[in-house]
């Protein structure tokens, strides 16, 4: 599967549980929505992903990638230390200038 560099970097960082590399994929004013909470800016996003990696140890396997006019959708098989693992998650991404502006997850 041919993924944009920022998405390939995000997948690699997640699978290596590397919070510092993960947050490099985001713009300075990016936003992430996960589990009913919103994280704004690189500092909050890095703290969120570090905590998530510690709690869930989730790895992702890309299943498909679609680019649309306003957002892109990465469908993944996500496995980790959480009930129901593995699950299929949809990453709804807005990418501008090669960096992620927003990320939201749906099942």
Task: Quick: pLDDT tens for 36-85.
Answer: 999 999 999 999 999 999 999 999 999 999 999 999 999 999 999 999 99
What is the pTM (predicted TM-score) of this model?
0.95
Q: Is 89 left (phi over 0), alpha (psi -120 to 50) or beta?
A: beta
The number of distinct structural domains making up the chain is 1
Percent of the chain at pLDDT > 70 equals: 100
Average pLDDT on 14-33 reads 98
Range of the domain at 35: 5-106
pLDDT at position 1: 85
pLDDT at position 37: 97
CATH number at residue 16: 3.10.450.50
């Amino acid at each position: 599967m041919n993924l944009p560099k920022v998405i390939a970097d995000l997948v690699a960082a997640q699978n290596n549980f590397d919070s510092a590399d993960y947050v490099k994929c985001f713009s300075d004013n990016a936003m992430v929505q996960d589990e009913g909470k919103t994280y704004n800016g690189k500092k909050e996003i890095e703290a969120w992903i570090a905590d998530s990696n510690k709690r869930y140890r989730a790895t992702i396997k890309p299943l498909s990638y679609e680019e649309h006019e306003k957002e892109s959708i990465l469908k993944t098989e996500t496995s980790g230390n959480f009930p129901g693992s593995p699950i299929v998650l949809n990453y709804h991404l807005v990418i501008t200038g090669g960096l992620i502006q927003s990320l939201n997850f749906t099942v």
